[in-house]
Structure 1
Amino acid sequence: MTSGGAPARAEMIREFVGSARFAQAISLIAIGLAFSTHAIRALIGWPGLLAALAGLLVLCAASLVTRWRAIEWYGILPLTILVFVGWCAASVLWSTTPGASAARVVYLVAFAVLGIYVALMRDTIQIVRAFGDTFRLLLGVSLALELLAGILIDSPIPFLGIQGDLAALGPIQGIFGSRNMLGFVALIGFITFIVEWRMHIISRGRAIGSVALALGSIVLSGSPTAWIALGAALVALAALYGLRRVPGVSRWRWQLALLVTGAAALITGWILRIRIIELLDARGEFDVRLDLWRELSRYLSLNPLQGWGWVGRWPDAPPYTWLEAGAGRPHESALNAYLDAYFQVGVIGAFAFAALIGVALVRAWLLASNRRSVVYLWPALVLVAVAVTSAAESFALYEGGWMLVVICAVKAARDMSWRDALKRS
Structure 2
Amino acid sequence: MTSAPSASSVRARVAAAASGSGAAAFATLLLFTLFAGDFWRNLISWPGYFVLAGLLAAASIVVLVRTRPAFHWRRLPRMLVLFLLLATVSIAWSAYPGASALGVIAQFATTAGALYLALALDWPQLLRALANAFRWILGLSLLFEFVVAAFVRHPVLPFWASYPEGKLPSAFYWSRGLLFHGGQIQGIQGNSNLLAMVALLAVIVFGIQLADRTVRRGAGITWLVIAVGTLALTRSSTVIVAGLATAVVFAFALWMRRVAPDRRRPVYLTAAALVVVAAGLLIAFASRIPALFGKSEDLTGRLDIWHSVIGLAQERPVFGWGWVSYWAPWVSPFKNLAERNGVTYLQAHNAWLDVWLQLGIVGLVVFILLVATTLGRSWFFAVDRPRTTIADDKPYTALGLLPLLLIAALIAQSAAESRILIEAGWALLVVLSVKTKQSTP
Counterpart in 2 of 1:39?
Answer: 39
- Determine if the alignment matches structure 1 residue 250 to structure 2 residue 256: no
Separation of aligned partners in 2, 1:163 and 1:204:
34
Q: For each residue in 1:31-75, what CA deviation from the matched residue of structure 2 results, as whole angstroms up to 9, or x when unmatched? A: 01111211111122222222222222332233223322x512244
Amino acid at match of 2:422: Y
Q: In the TM superposition, what are the counterparts of 1:5-154 in structure 2 within 5 Å?
A: 19-68=19-68, 70-154=69-153
Q: Which moved more, 1:404-413 or 1:266-275?
A: 266-275
Counterpart in 2 of 1:422?
Answer: none
Contact conserved, 1:16 with 1:22, CA < 8 A, in 2? no
Separation of aligned partners in 1, 2:61 and 2:345:
35
Separation of aligned partners in 2, 1:65 and 1:300:
39
Q: In the TM superposition, what are the counterparts of 1:298-337 in structure 2 within 5 Å?
A: 298-316=311-329, 317-324=331-338, 329-337=343-351
- Determine if the alignment matches structure 1 residue 341 to structure 2 residue 355: yes
* Structure-1-length-normalised TM-score: 0.89
Q: In the TM superposition, what are the counterparts of 1:255-404 in structure 2 within 5 Å?
A: 255-283=268-296, 286-316=299-329, 317-324=331-338, 329-371=343-385, 372-404=396-428
User: Equivalent of 2:252, from 233, 239, 254?
Assistant: 239
Task: Please identify which structure carries the higher helix content.
Answer: 1
Contact conserved, 2:246 with 2:408, CA < 8 A, in 1? yes
Amino acid at match of 1:40: W
Separation of aligned partners in 1, 2:222 and 2:293:
26
1:305 Cα shift?
1.1
- Determine if the alignment matches structure 1 residue 405 to structure 2 residue 426: no
Q: Which moved more, 1:16-25 or 1:190-199?
A: 16-25
1:291 Cα shift?
1.2
What is the DSSP-based 3-state SS (H/G/I as helix, E as strand, rest coil) of the residue aligned with 1:334?
Answer: coil
1:152 Cα shift?
2.9
Aligned length: 404
> Structure 1's 347 and 326: CA in aligned 2 closer, same or farther, altered over 3 A?
farther
Contact conserved, 2:135 with 2:223, CA < 8 A, in 1? yes
1:259 Cα shift?
3.3
Amino acid at match of 1:42: N
Counterpart in 1 of 2:390?
Answer: none
> Structure 1's 52 and 16: CA in aligned 2 closer, same or farther, altered over 3 A?
farther
Separation of aligned partners in 1, 2:187 and 2:340:
30
Contact conserved, 2:327 with 2:334, CA < 8 A, in 1? yes
Counterpart in 1 of 2:154?
Answer: 155
Amino acid at match of 1:64: L
Q: For each residue in 1:84-141, what CA deviation from the matched residue of structure 2 results, as whole angstroms up to 9, or x when unmatched? A: 1111111111112211111110111111111111111111111111101110110111
1:381 Cα shift?
0.6
Q: For each residue in 1:333-386, what CA deviation from the matched residue of structure 2 results, as whole angstroms up to 9, or x when unmatched? A: 111111111111111112222221121111101110113221110110111110
What is the DSSP-based 3-state SS (H/G/I as helix, E as strand, rest coil) of the residue aligned with 2:338?
Answer: helix
Contact conserved, 1:292 with 1:327, CA < 8 A, in 2? no
> Structure 1's 365 and 327: CA in aligned 2 closer, same or farther, altered over 3 A?
farther
> Structure 1's 367 and 252: CA in aligned 2 closer, same or farther, altered over 3 A?
farther
Separation of aligned partners in 1, 2:86 and 2:431:
20
Q: Which moved more, 1:352-361 or 1:103-112?
A: 352-361
1:28 Cα shift?
1.3
Separation of aligned partners in 2, 1:53 and 1:302:
35
What is the DSSP-based 3-state SS (H/G/I as helix, E as strand, rest coil) of the residue aligned with 2:270?
Answer: helix
1:158 Cα shift?
0.7
> Structure 1's 31 and 194: CA in aligned 2 closer, same or farther, altered over 3 A?
same
Q: Percent identity?
A: 31
Separation of aligned partners in 2, 1:190 and 1:272:
30
Q: Which moved more, 1:347-356 or 1:395-404?
A: 347-356
Listed as ranges, the gaps of 5+ residues in structure 2 are 1-10, 159-172, 386-395
User: Equivalent of 2:223, from 210, 234, 237?
Assistant: 210
Amino acid at match of 1:393: E
Amino acid at match of 1:396: I
Separation of aligned partners in 1, 2:79 and 2:56:
25
Counterpart in 2 of 1:176?
Answer: 189
Separation of aligned partners in 1, 2:290 and 2:29:
38
Separation of aligned partners in 2, 1:129 and 1:266:
37
Separation of aligned partners in 1, 2:17 and 2:105:
25
Contact conserved, 2:61 with 2:112, CA < 8 A, in 1? no
Amino acid at match of 1:355: L
User: Equivalent of 2:236, from 203, 223, 243?
Assistant: 223
> Structure 1's 271 and 84: CA in aligned 2 closer, same or farther, altered over 3 A?
farther
Q: Which moved more, 1:38-47 or 1:359-368?
A: 38-47
Contact conserved, 1:291 with 1:327, CA < 8 A, in 2? no
Separation of aligned partners in 2, 1:329 and 1:45:
19
Separation of aligned partners in 2, 1:107 and 1:362:
28
What is the DSSP-based 3-state SS (H/G/I as helix, E as strand, rest coil) of the residue aligned with 2:258?
Answer: coil
What is the DSSP-based 3-state SS (H/G/I as helix, E as strand, rest coil) of the residue aligned with 2:327?
Answer: coil
Listed as ranges, the gaps of 5+ residues in structure 1 are 1-10, 417-425
